């Protein structure tokens, strides 16, 4: 499971060139990363033993 810091870094990397629009694939990746980040922030993720 990725940490919030890692997810934030990946999200920022997608937006590294704000004047260039994201591709459809990048928008999908962005949505997945944001969803995963929300789950981590809510604590919905159980840590491995």
pLDDT digits (tens, 9 = 90+) for 2-26: 899 999 999 999 988 878 899 999 9
Query: Which carries the bigger pLDDT value, residue 1 or residue 17?
Result: 17
The full length of the chain comes to 49
pLDDT of residue 1 exceeding 90, the answer is no
- Would you say residue 49 lies in a domain? no
- Would you say residue 22 lies in a domain? yes
- Would you say residue 23 lies in a domain? yes
Number of domains in the chain: 1
How far is the C-alpha of 18 from the C-alpha of 25, rounded, in Å?
16
- SS3 (DSSP) at 19: coil
- Would you say residue 24 lies in a domain? yes
- Would you say residue 20 lies in a domain? yes
Q: Which domain holds residue 38?
A: 4-42
Instruction: Give the pTM.
Output: 0.77
- Would you say residue 47 lies in a domain? no
pLDDT of residue 44 exceeding 80, the answer is no
């Amino acid at each position: 499971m990725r940490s919030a810091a890692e997810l934030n870094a990946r999200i920022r990397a997608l937006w590294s060139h704000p004047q260039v629009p994201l591709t459809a694939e990048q928008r999908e990746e962005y949505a997945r990363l944001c969803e995963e980040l929300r789950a981590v922030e809510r604590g919905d993720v159980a840590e491995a033993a």
